[in-house]
Amino acid sequence: MAEARIRRGGTARIAPKAKVRAGQGRGRALKRQSWLDRLIEALPVSEATVQRMATWLIVGIVGAILIGFAAFFGVPAMARQEAAQLAARAGFEVQKVEVRGVERMDEMPVYNIALGQVDRSMLALDLPKVRTQMLQLGWVKDARISRRLPDTLVVDIVEREPVAVWQHEGQLHLIDVQGTVLQSVSASAMPDLPLVVGPYANRQTAGLNRLMENAPALQPMLAGATWVGNRRWDLRFQSGETLSLPEGDRDSATALVNFARMDGVNRLLGRGIVKFDMRDPDRFVLRLPEGQAKDKPAGDDKSASTSVASGEDG
């Protein structure tokens, strides 16, 4: 009887331990299997919605892979080319060019660029490329290109403004204020613009304009200017005289203002003087034609001495 109690007691002691271990194992298994479910339950959407989202995500990934393969093998480019050819056959091809804003330049280069494209389909025409080619024309400061269906290309041109003629290496070129060469001109068809002479003189045109703004009374009398030694100007007036200015923007402007003041008082221009030399701030040199009496015009320049020379300096 004691043995029976011992066995029952043993069974009673062993059974609870086995049940505890089994319960703990199932708890751990439930924890491992239910964290995803709990995460889905925490989302503010239903489980069916999550499943649909997952389905569309998979479809999107597969579609992206297919598009990548198609792009790799050039399928979109071929499709675009075929669509452009179909549009051209249907009449959507550049046949006419309308040019606006042109007053001085020759329009023919514009037509040549617009109608010379390899692919003239209105769908495939590369407008930025056409604009870039237009901007390479000397006269074109800016350009806007647009399509007008079914077959017209509209080109709006902003022309550069010519301000001088540049003489370089025996050639004459029309230039704008930035020194951009617009076109070649002949000596027999010279426009009524100042002539700038010398290497890189075209790049100094803006500086020459600023210099002449200091003496507005002399601007209409200016016939031309020579950029000497890539550092200073010799101005030539319509009455035939030359004015040599010093180097530097400030010194040359000061000298020009002083000369304009003296000309306003004593009428230096138009009196047969060959050259005025103001390169030295302490001397005002007048160069007369050779053999002419060395009579100098009166000046009121109190800060500098005045001297008269005969003949041309070297």
pTM, two decimals, is 0.63
Task: Classify residue 108 as exposed, middle or buried by CB count within 10 Å of its CB (0-12, 13-18, 19+).
Answer: exposed
Q: Are residues 145 and 226 in the same domain?
A: no
Task: Residue 182: give the domain boundaries.
Answer: 162-310
- 57 within 8 A of 97, measured Cβ to Cβ: no
SS3 39: helix
Domain boundary among the residues 138, 159, 180 is at 159
Q: Distance (Å, rounded) from C-alpha 242 to C-alpha 248? A: 18
User: pLDDT tens, 73-95?
Assistant: 554 555 455 544 554 455 568 88
Sign of CA dihedral 215, 219, 225, 231: positive
User: pLDDT tens, 255-303?
Assistant: 999 999 999 999 999 999 999 999 998 999 999 887 665 445 544 444 4
CA 281 vs CA 266, 298, 300: distances in Å: 20, 18, 15
Banded model confidence at residue 103, pLDDT cuts 50, 70, 90: very high
* Residue 256 within any structural domain of the chain: yes
CATH of the domain at 167: 3.40.50.11690
pLDDT at 298: 46
User: pLDDT tens, 116-150?
Assistant: 887 778 777 889 999 999 999 999 999 999 988 88
Q: Are residues 238 and 303 in the same domain?
A: yes
Q: Are residues 233 and 215 in the same domain?
A: yes
* Residue 66 within any structural domain of the chain: no
* Residue 62 within any structural domain of the chain: no
CATH of the domain at 149: 3.10.20.310
Total number of domains constituting the chain: 2
SS3 308: strand
Q: Are residues 221 and 275 in the same domain?
A: yes
Q: Are residues 99 and 140 in the same domain?
A: yes
Token pair, residue 32, equals 């491992």
Q: Are residues 278 and 155 in the same domain?
A: no
